[in-house]
A = this chain, B = another copy of it.
Amino acid sequence: MKKYKGYLFDLDGTMYKGTELIAEARDFVVKLKEKNLPYLFVTNNSSRTPEQVAAKLRDFGIPAEGPQVFTTSQATANFLAEKKENATAYVIGEEGIQQALIEKGFTLQDENPDFVVVGIDRSISYEKLTKACLGVRNGATFVSTNGDIAIPTERGLLPGNGSLTSVVTVSTETQPIFIGKPEKIIMEQALEVIGTPRSETLMIGDNYHTDIMAGMNAGIDTLLVHTGVTTPEHLTTFEQQPTHVAHSLLEWMESI
């Protein structure tokens, strides 16, 4: 088993399932911390701030500080800042994306923004969608934090940000730039944050379509853990396979 120098982790389905801890994943991260190996949680959840995500992980007993969390909101803010500094944005989204953009120096405004950004927003309204559509029709660059179609909850699969984003895509006939997994954009930035060489970094996740494809798209080795979405049966249907596969991270404890 190859020993890696840096570890990128997905969250839901990899570290926990909803409100339930995946104990093997916690033990794995605890050992990484003991050995002083760098790790970073990479999440498509744009609604929470890194501090809020880290606090949730600590509640599970998983050692995590804010700087060890990298959200698609941060990746989006960085991406936009590279496109245009001190720009304006109209944002559909919750605290995580709003805060990330403000911290990066963006001015949030309703009319004639440089960028229209769509992240998950449980207070979505027709007026918000209208402003986003008018902004894009007015020439704003259209960006979406992630294309996830559904969010697993106790109630079932709820509409994900990819489905909310489609209102603007369909109405304006304009494709957004997606930032989150499986896009390369978030992964390139995550590599910079963790600071380990690409070839010695491992992306660990439970979802072939987001986590594993994100690693593949960025040329990072991948480990699919069967603790979440993608089952062993489903995995056999894909041509391009992950670098590694495990039932849980218990199998990887010795490689640290």
Contacts and interface: CB of A to CB of B under 8 A. Distances in A.
Interface of A: 121-126, 129-130, 133-134, 137, 149-150, 155-160, 162-164, 166-173
Contacts of A122: 126
Contact of A163 (B123, B124, B160, B166): B166
Contact of A130 (B158, B167, B168): B158
Contacts of A129: 124, 159, 163-164
Contacts of A162: 170-171
A126 B164 CA distance: 9
A170 B146 CA distance: 13
A14 B156 CA distance: 45
Nearest to A150: B171
Contacts of A159: 126, 129-130, 133, 167-168, 171
Residue from A149, A157, A171 with most neighbouring chain B CB atoms (10 Å): A171
The 3 closest A-B pairs by CB, nearest first: A163-B171, A163-B170, A166-B166
Contact of A157 (B155, B170, B171): B171
A137 B156 contact: yes
Contacts of A130: 155, 158-159
A176 to B, nearest CB: 12
A62 to B, nearest CB: 29
16 contacts: A124-B129, A129-B159, A130-B155, A133-B159, A133-B163, A134-B155, A137-B157, A150-B171, A158-B171, A159-B167, A159-B168, A160-B171, A162-B171, A163-B166, A163-B167, A163-B168
B133 A158 contact: yes
Contact of A166 (B121, B158, B170): B170
Contacts of A134: 155-158
A126 B126 contact: no
Nearest to A153: B130
A156 B111 CA distance: 12
Given A150-B172, A159-B171, 19 more contacts: A122-B126, A124-B125, A125-B125, A126-B159, A129-B159, A129-B164, A130-B159, A133-B159, A137-B156, A149-B173, A157-B171, A157-B172, A158-B171, A162-B171, A163-B166, A163-B167, A163-B168, A163-B171, A166-B166
